[in-house]
């Protein structure tokens, strides 16, 4: 499968613990996005990278959240001192950036976080 | 700030019925518009998109959408739904840039769940 892959698919943790999610984008895609989706809501933008540069961060991304894409390939999203309100599906997507950019984001299947 | 409104939370139809899902966006500039679909247990995938040109765009599986600039709308339609169309549908928008590219992040609506009865 050459699509976007995310790991782990499910994570259950206790409040106050740290968690890290990994995303491997489609290999030739230089843009990588993180979204969060809760029940009954559409995906909410968190942040995105073009190559290794983090170009935009949402106000939803509190100080407890940090995302990296050190070599412009895979990315990690870390949540420190998790809270019950962090329980959600964390979606990763990738795309190409060019002058004829089509705007299509390719999504992974998501990492579901449950904070007890 | 950009925002997207989807009018229906849950739509229930019988097979062969016609479908129209409403989507309105709020943004002062030029936008690119998308409909994504999420089938049960699957990831989000693109259904169709509008960047410029003919405001009536056709997507996969017989879906189409019409961009009406004056109404800030991009409604999704299908003349005859099938049981396999049961899914959640998301309208999304991002800001278009002058050179033909787009601002990175997509803003999504809350989604409309479609249930098709066989």
* Residues A107/A32, Cβ–Cβ less than 8 Å: no
C-alpha distances in Å from residue B60, one per residue of A47, B2, B49, B89, B94: 29, 26, 11, 13, 21
Backbone angles phi, psi at B105, to 5 degrees: -85, 145
Query: Between these two residues, B107 and A77, which has the higher pLDDT value?
Result: A77
Q: How confident is the model over A5-44, as pLDDT tens digits?
A: 999 999 999 999 999 999 999 998 889 999 999 988 999 9
Q: Which of B32, B49, B104 sits opposite A48 (nearest CB)?
A: B104
Q: How confident is the model over B18-76, as pLDDT tens digits?
A: 999 999 999 878 888 999 999 998 999 999 999 888 999 999 999 999 999 999 999 99
What's the mean pLDDT in A47-76? 91
Q: For residue A53, what is the enclosing H or E element?
A: strand A53-57
Q: Which of B9, B42, B51 sits opposite A103 (nearest CB)?
A: B51
CA-based nearest residue in chain A for residue B90: A42
CB contact under 8 A, B110 and A107: no
Identify any residues that bridge with B75 across adjacent strands, giving them in sequence order. B66
A96 in contact with B, Cβ within 8 Å: no
Return the pLDDT at B16.
Answer: 96
Q: Which of A35, A98, A104 sits opposite B49 (nearest CB)?
A: A104
B106 in contact with A, Cβ within 8 Å: yes
Cis peptide before A8 (omega within 30 of 0): yes
Q: What residues in A contact B100, CB-CB < 8 Å?
A: 99-101
Return the pLDDT at B1.
Answer: 72
Q: Which of B9, B102, B110 sits opposite A103 (nearest CB)?
A: B102
Q: How confident is the model over A68-96, as pLDDT tens digits?
A: 999 889 999 999 999 999 999 999 999 88
**Cα dihedral B92, B79, B12, A113 in deg (nearest 10):** -30
Q: How confident is the model over B85-99, as pLDDT tens digits?
A: 999 999 999 876 655
Return the pLDDT at A3.
Answer: 92
A1 in contact with B, Cβ within 8 Å: no
Distance from CA of B69 to the nearest CA of A (A): 19
């Amino acid at each position: 499968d050459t699509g976007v892959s995310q790991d782990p698919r499910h994570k259950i943790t206790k409040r106050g613990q740290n968690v890290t999610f990994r995303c491997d984008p489609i290999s030739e895609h230089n843009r990588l996005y993180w979204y969060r989706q809760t029940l009954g809501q559409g995906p909410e933008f968190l942040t995105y990278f073009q190559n290794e540069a983090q170009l935009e961060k949402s106000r939803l991304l509190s100080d407890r959240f940090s995302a990296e894409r050190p070599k412009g390939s895979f990315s990690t999203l870390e949540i420190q001192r998790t809270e019950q309100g962090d329980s959600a599906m964390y979606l990763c997507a990738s795309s190409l950036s060019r002058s004829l950019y089509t705007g299509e984001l390719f999504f992974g299947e998501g990492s579901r976080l449950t904070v007890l | 700030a950009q925002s997207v409104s989807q009018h229906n939370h849950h739509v229930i139809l019988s097979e062969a019925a016609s479908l129209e899902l409403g989507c309105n966006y709020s943004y002062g500039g030029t936008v690119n518009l998308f409909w994504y679909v999420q089938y049960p247990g699957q990831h989000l995938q693109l259904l169709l998109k509008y960047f410029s040109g003919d405001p009536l765009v056709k997507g996969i599986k017989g879906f189409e959408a019409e961009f009406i600039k004056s109404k800030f709308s991009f409604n999704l339609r299908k003349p005859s739904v099938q049981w396999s169309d049961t899914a959640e549908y998301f309208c999304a928008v991002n800001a278009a840039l002058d050179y033909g590219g787009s601002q990175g992040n997509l803003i999504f609506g809350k989604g409309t769940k479609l249930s098709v009865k066989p």
